[in-house]
Chains A and B, each alone.
Chain A
Amino acid sequence: MSNSYVAEVAYLVLVLPLIAFAIQIFFGRNLPRKGDWVSLGAIVGSLAGSLYIACQSLSAHDPQWTVHRIFDWFRVGNAYLLGGVLVDNLTAVMLVVVTGVSTLVHIYSTAYMHGDPKYSRYFGFLSLFSFSMLGLILADNIFFLYCFWELVGVSSYFLIGFWNERQAPADAAKKAFLTNRVGDIGFFLGIMILWHQLGTFSYVDIFQAVRMGEMSGLVSILGLGDVGLLTLAGLCLFCGAVGKSAQFPLHVWLPDAMEGPTPVSALIHAATMVAAGVYMVGRLFPLFTPSALLVIAYVGCITAFFAGTIAITANDIKRVLAYSTVSQLGYMIMALGVGGYTPGLQHLMTHAWFKALLFLCSGSVILGLHHTQDMREMGGLRKKMPVTFWTMLIGTLALCGVPPFSGFFSKDAILAACLEFGIGHPQHLALFVLGVAGAGITTFYMFRLIFMTFYGEPRNLEKYDHAQESPLPVILPLVILAALAIGSGWGHWFQDRIQPPPDSQFFLAQTGWGGEAVHVADEGGHGGAAHTIAMLCSILAVIIGFGFSYILYFSRTISPKAIAERYPTCYRWLLNKYYVDEFYQSYVIEPLLAWNDFLFRFDRKVIDGFVNGVARTTRVAADILGRIDLYIVDGLVNYLAEIWLELGQKVRRLHQGRIQEYLVVALALAVLFILGHSIVS
């Protein structure tokens, strides 16, 4: 069997970056070139292994192709935990995406981070992140998934706060970590529900048990109503995805995470880590009940639409892309929610390529302009940075979903799935409408970015004059990613291999409402009236979005300022990101701080007061005891000693120290004794 080496290669793929991380952390600074080649070599090795696995997956031509290797992790009494790797088509694709983007980011970083004092540590963290993400993908049980999930979170924390000597990145890292924690609590609860009910962490066993109809019970939540246990577990697990994939309302950390180095933004906050949530929903897809999926779909839809609108007013080039990422992740989640398993995951794959491309391009612009991120200071860079311009344009077209770029195929399939769902359930047609509107908005703000950055007159001449094209290690990844952004959606290879897991059909067929959507996904998305309508709508939306953008930012027939002034409330809400941060500030953070303050005072006054009181009492008691000891006990002992001293003083007179006197006494006594004895006898 040619598959026999897949599991071994998978282990190798996983372990290489971990070894690189260990080497970097302990010896990195003393290695030649500060050890960037260690990390780069490790990730290239992982990429090679991933490509091998992908080739096996491609040549198998089987949607159910799976390699599952289990090992006994540990046993405690009767409880035992199995570990293992699960490699199927989805895993194979994700492996190539993660290692591919990671390799390119490594190459890019050698130039972007050149001369940074913490250069070797940066590469160490990149390796750690790659390891965590690969482990997350390869895990065959939820427990491992959760471990690597947290590892991904912590590496993200390190990398966002990489420049932690400045305040903003340190704050952003904290915010990202804490926001993720909120979601992870839900994730953890979900895992605990499954463990409690089924006693297993393994995907295979869980799906098996769910298919057999276990966990079909109801639970009452605070007496408000009954919820299916499985629905509850699914929603809890989805909370984790909400945190990690930056879905509304936990999306606030992602734009702030842009404080990290730009290659990190590309790797973690666009292409891979934020994909973890989507990947998790896809991986656990058979678990989610129709009601859970409906919630998921709406969360995704709201996120997709509303993050898009925020991006319209953002001025920081990376923040535009960050909100666009949030929005695209919303699309993926929405697709999974309406049962569009294949389109959602395909968008995950294509989005990884073109969003990494866009971020790396923005990094190139930032590098060219000597660390300027504000688009209002850019303009006219097309001639100064031709390669960056063309690759960024390709990325933008792919993101907007212009045929024949890769984004077109996946986004189109998502919208088609939404439309199918909407036709089946007219009350949920809003998902499709908002999705199409979101596509138009995406085009609008992306071309706004292109026009503001690369066209028009330079707004800041001094910076413009110093602008220059970036060096080869930056350009090379851009070109490779641009090729992938164009071509990764072509053909049917993805749709042929990644299909909804058969277990999930159970729910979908039973309730009937998701069946059509899955059906569309099965067909690969290029047939059916719904698909044609969806395609036309999305192309129309793209054209409208482009038109507005062109009028406002290229020909400048209408001034954007005029519109902003005409709808001031609307503009203010968008500029302030719908006041979500402010909402958290005043309704979550401040009450929490007030509560903390109260606890602090309580601690200070009551607990500390009690402890201090006890201490004071003890001191007084000790003082009294000390006096008793000193005057009564010691006094008695001293008094006894004095009696003996005086007695001794009196007795010592007898001892003159003259031997002869003693002898006289002895003699006298002896004589007396003898005399007395003779008298008596």
Chain B
Amino acid sequence: MTRGLRLFYICFILFLLALPIIVVTGISLNEGRSLRFPPEGLSLRWYGALFQEGDWLQPLRHSLIIALSASLLSVTIALPLALYVWSRGNWLGRALHTLGIAPFMLPPVITALGFLVFWVSVGMYGQMLATIISHAIFLVTLPVVTISLGLRSIDMALVEAARTMGASRGQILRGVILPLIMPYIISGFAFAFVLSLNEYIVAYMVAGFTVETLPIKIFNSLRYGYTPIMGVVAVLFVALAIVVFGLIGRYGDLPRLMGSDRSGER
């Protein structure tokens, strides 16, 4: 197949993927309360409304607090985990690696239900802290994967060289290893942040009726009355994801981060 045809196929699929987003963007620009495409009268009023209407502002605040705390927490768990797995090939290392990968591999409904019964048993059902911790565990896979990738790319000679120059274990960790994997830590954090912001089922099952997040709010609006603000949220989420992943792509090697090693060792 010729190069042009291949590019056409890729662009066509990307167009299909963009189609719903284009329509939703159009909807978010409606002047009135109706969800029309093409929009009837162009206006940004619903973008303002998201930040003014109390029943959307509160979920926005919840979502941001949860995403920020949860992604920080998941990096805090993932970093020592990845370091341990990287440095030791024993049974605990292997078990930890599986535990770190598992949350994202299983259907999220199961994990969500697990969290539900757990928080009910502990007596924290319906609290924001429960949502934060649940998200941190659920999304821990992402920083685990990115940080492990970063650790694998470290040339062991660097660590050996630091040792011969008299660096202690802590000094090597702080002075050599952490700076080298910092981009991977940051991208792990960014991945977890974006996905937590978008996450619905875990947040819903753990505290859906008390701590409303934006996805939950959208889902409720799907049932109890559409408004163009839903489109606004969708557009902002897509835009944020593009900015975050775009930045990672701009300052890092995204194909490499996604597992292509053409630019790598071999």
A and B are interacting partners: no
User: Chain A residues in contact with chain B, CB under 8 A?
Assistant: none
